[in-house]
Structure formats: structure tokens, C-alpha cells
Amino acid sequence: MATTTYRKGFIGRAFAVLGAASAAAAAVEGHRRPKASDLRTLGIDPANFPGAERN
């Protein structure tokens, strides 16, 4: 039972990471800044991403 739950969690996380990577790559190719949520999913601090607004 725990193995099945782990697999579902792993697969869901894998799809989330692939989706975020795809969205971030498309944004960069389109000369736009990726969404902060996509960067966080990939383990990137949005404040340190190039093109972030600086105060």
C-alpha cells in the first residue's frame, strides 16, 4: 500500500517538474520571464533568476 502511494506521488511530482521545465523553457525562448511558481517547482529562487525586478 505504501509503495503504491509512493509511486503515485513520485509520478505526480515528475509530471509537475516536466511541466514546469517545459513552461520555463518556452518563456525563456519567447524572451519572457518564467512564472515564479514554475521556477520554484524547479528549485530555482525566483528572486535570483536573471531579469528579476530589483528594488
The answer as to whether 24 is a domain residue is yes
Establish if 53 belongs to a structural domain.
no
- For 5-55, the pLDDT digits (tens) are 666 788 889 999 999 999 999 999 999 999 999 999 999 999 998 875 543
pLDDT reported for residue 18: 96
User: Could you tell me if residue 41 is inside a domain?
Assistant: yes
Q: Which domain holds residue 44?
A: 2-48
Asked, for residue 55, whether it belongs to a domain, the answer is no
Does 16 reside within a domain?
yes
43 is a domain residue: yes
**Assigned domain for 54 exists:** no
Q: What is residue 51's predicted lDDT score, i.e. its pLDDT? A: 72
- What does the pLDDT read at residue 22? 98
Q: How many domains does the chain have?
A: 1
Got the DSSP string for the chain?
A: -HHHHHHHHHHHHHHHHHHHHHHHHHHHHTT-PPPHHHHHHTT--GGGSTT----
